[in-house]
Structures are given as structure tokens and as C-alpha cells.
Amino acid sequence: MKTVKVVAAVICDSIQDKNKIFATARGYGDFKGGWEFPGGKVEAGETPQEALVREIHEELDTKIKVGKLIDTIEYDYPTFHLSMDCFWSEVMEGHLELKEHEAAKWLTKETIDDVAWLPADITLVDKIKAEMK
């Protein structure tokens, strides 16, 4: 099975406080409408952090600061294996403009379970909740 290496940003209001996180709904593909943490594929020669900065700039026209690794999710979808490095991040510059997603929202610890997360992304939610205020 083919492995797809990606990165995801758990963008929060503050890496220190983590009161709310930013989630996006996919705007295309097999999982259109499913909620995820924004990010994308790592290109040859990039570190995961460099890939994440590039992807968030491309998808959301925003410059982020990448914090610590939360976890690496390994998940088997029917046609590929996903390996996803997930990092705490915060906005440094920009307004999180949706270029590829159909919707987005800020979620709190109390509302994080209110969206239909994609299968790989939902495996991260409990770890995120544990660090949120």
C-alpha cells in the first residue's frame, strides 16, 4: 500500500494558552465536506515544518509559527496509508482566508466534537483536548 506523507497544523489562538483551534472542511475530493486540520503533502527536500508553513500559506494565505509536534498519526485509508505529522501552530500574519476549503470555524474544548472529523484527524482530537484550556 502506498504511503502518503503529510503535515497538519493545529492552529490555535495562542500556543501558550490554547483556548480555541481552527478546523477546516475539505472543499474537494473523496472526503469533501469532512473536517480536518489544514496542511498537505511534504515535498522532496522539505522538513515537515517547512512543508507546513508552505501549505498554510498556499491554502489559507497566512504565515504561521510552527510549535511542537503533537503526534504522528498513522492511518490506513482503503487505498493508501497516511502518515501525518501534526504540529501546534499559531497565526503570525494574515487572516486565514479559505482558498481550498469550503468552510472553517474556531472550536473550543467544549465544541471540538461538534464537527464530523475525517477518520485520521479524529484520532488526534483527544490529545488536543487534553492540552486545551
> Which CATH number is associated with domain 3-131?
3.90.79.10
- Coil, strand, or helix at residue 110? coil
Q: What pLDDT is stored for residue 50 in this prediction? A: 98
Angle, CA 7 vertex, CA 2 and CA 12 arms, to 5°? 150
Delimit the domains of the chain by residue range: 3-131
Q: Which residues of the chain have pLDDT under 70?
A: none
Those residues whose C-beta lies under 8 Å from the C-beta of residue 97, and which sit 6 or more positions away, are: 60, 61, 62
pLDDT at position 84 is 98
- Note the pLDDT of residue 30: 86
Question: How far is the CA of 110 from the CAs of 18, 65, 114, 128, 129, in angstroms?
Answer: 13, 25, 8, 12, 9
Contact partners, residue 46, CB within 8 Å, separation at least 6: 54
Q: Which residues pair with 63 in a beta bridge?
A: 93
